[in-house]
Amino acid sequence: MTTTRIDARFAALEREGRAGLVTFVSAGDPDPETSLALVRALPAAGADVIELGMPFSDPMSDGPTIQASSQRALKHGQTLAGTLALVRAFREGDDATPIVLMGYYNPIYIYGVDRFLADAHAAGVDGLIVVDLPPEEDAELCVPAMKAGLSFVRLLTPTTDAARLPAVLANTSGFLYYVSITGVTGTAKPDFAAVGRAVAAVKAKTPLPVAVGFGVRTAADAAAIAAYADAVVVGSAIVSAIKASLDANDAATPATVEAATALVRELAGGVRAARRTAAE
């Protein structure tokens, strides 16, 4: 693979001597127009990498908050084609911020793998996180994605043992996503010391950047994780801020974009204020 926006961004973060902030929102939540406005506003608020959720009716690894955001997006007609259109529109004004699509294989399979990879690359997508395709299925999407110029980011969990780790690392590119808790998104708070030990162990086995997510809700949480990791991923807290700004019918209000970006600014401040530790 050639150097991607993901590679360039993590190289820049390393030069700056700080961790990055990866923000997750569901594409099309609460509606396509507001979603585009929000995604366009994230970099200025402090997002270094943007994860866009591909809305799906059965999101098995997501907690209730992100499940609800997928439902709001689907209710407003969000499709995988619409998500790629959002990325194309975003790229009209930002050619630097990496975008990673996160979700499940079913919508990609229905769209058609080859067609999806070509369209995603052309739209300006940089990487994929597909949580229900294990390494044993790399020929299905992972290897074709990398051949198409897209990074394939893999999840590591607290239950990934030393015997399993080589398989997880084999075809991973861009960065590794360490899941800080056992369970679904947005449901528990990480044990920061344990996360630090786990990140150090992983980084001893791979040169890839390690991002940590699940359970990070506040600037203090983000700072604690940023002391160890190359990036901090925040999703449910941002999606919760979006939900809290909606009206009684789950429609966007004039406060919606600012509600999300205000939290992102706080999180970015926590990440940037973090004191790096030797646990790396």
Query: Could you list the active site residues?
Result: 51, 62
Query: Residue 252, SS3?
Result: coil
Cα(209)–Cα(42) distance, integer angstroms:
21
Tell whether the torsion through CA atoms of 2, 180, 275 and 169 is positive or negative. Answer: negative
Cα(266)–Cα(21) distance, integer angstroms:
11
What are φ and ψ of residue 159, in 5° steps? -95, 0
Cα(119)–Cα(18) distance, integer angstroms:
33
Give yes or no for a contact between 126 and 98, defined as CB atoms under 8 angstroms apart.
Answer: yes
Return the DSSP state at 136. G
- From the number of C-beta atoms within 10 Å of its C-beta (0-12, 13-18, 19+), residue 204 rates as exposed
Token readout for 265 is: 């600014």
Cα(218)–Cα(227) distance, integer angstroms:
14
